[in-house]
Amino acid sequence: MKKSYTAIIVIILIGLVVLVQSLFIVDETNTAIVTRFGEPIKTTQSPGLNFKVPFIDQVRKFEKRLLIFDAPPDSLLTSDKKRLVIDVYARGKIVDPLLFFKTTRNETLASSRAIDIISCELRREIASDLQAEIIKTSREQVMNKVKLEAEPKLREFGIQLIDVRIKRADFPDEIAESIYARMKAERKRKADKERAEAAEIDLTVRSEVDKEAAVIRAKADKEAKIIIGNAEAEAIKILSEAHSQNPEFYNFLRQLETYENSFSSGNSTIIIPENSNILDSFFGSKIISSAFPVAPTTD
């Protein structure tokens, strides 16, 4: 009885193993190929549960999604004998899984062959173009030509080439350094030229301003002298008229000016000769004579 239970359990386990080996699942992102003794016998592209002969059939799955073929950067020679470092990648997908399996067996080998084909076509196309054209304008044209030439060759492996793109197209490091140095020197030359032009403009403007300022000052000095001359002439005219109209009053004003000038020097004592008439306007000649009697002269 105990042995029969054991046998049943063993049979169940064997059945489970056989069942598991008979089933495989294909999801939406994969295509499956069933091989028997290494040769493909069936291709399954629809997602879901599928069957195979256990322990004899094997299942190989391949991507339905886009494959990226990323080529390493390569130094290529252009038609004008100049070098460019170009880094490209391509995108493709498996459209014939059976042909893909027969020719490449796996995606790693397929990627290597695709990169070789694309690099070869790229090298051939770059060799027919000028360096400046590739860098500035014709990248899209180059990639379209590479795609056009490489696509039929990849079809032989069951791969449809979607597009080819340049990630980078640049000068080699040693050339790039010399170009950057030349660009830096050119920028410095332009900057020095602009600074010199700015200094020249500044000097011209300053000279014009100084010239205009000198003209304005000269004009102002001239006008000031004219005004002063007119004022002095007017003053002389007024004084002349005052003298002609009232000589005594004019003499009185002149005497006052004399006093003012005398006291403005800081002196508080003035010595006046006895025969001076400077105080006549204030005291009269009689007062002066009594205040300062004249000593009799002796013969």
Q: What is the pLDDT of residues 24-64, one digit of tens each?
A: 889 888 999 999 888 898 888 888 888 888 888 888 989 98
Number of independent structural domains in the chain: 4
Does some domain include residue 192?
A: no
Does some domain include residue 48?
A: yes
Do both 51 and 150 map to the same domain? no
Residue 228 structural domain: 215-245
Closest CA to 80 of 134, 141, 143, 118: 134
Q: Whole-angstrom Cα distance, residue 38 to residue 101?
A: 11
Say what the pLDDT of residue 179 is: 62
Position 132 confidence tier, pLDDT thresholds 50, 70, 90: confident
Domain end residue (candidates: 25, 44, 62):
62
Say what the pLDDT of residue 184 is: 80
- Pick the residue with more confidence: 113 or 134? 113
Burial of residue 69 (number of CB atoms within 10 Å: 0-12, 13-18, 19+): buried
Do both 237 and 251 map to the same domain? no
Q: Whole-angstrom Cα distance, residue 253 to residue 258?
A: 9
- Determine the average pLDDT of the residues in 113-131: 89
Do both 98 and 164 map to the same domain? yes
Is 2's pLDDT higher than 70? no
Do both 103 and 164 map to the same domain? yes
Please report, as a single letter, which amino acid is at residue 83.
Answer: R
Say what the pLDDT of residue 151 is: 94
Q: What is the pTM of this model?
A: 0.54
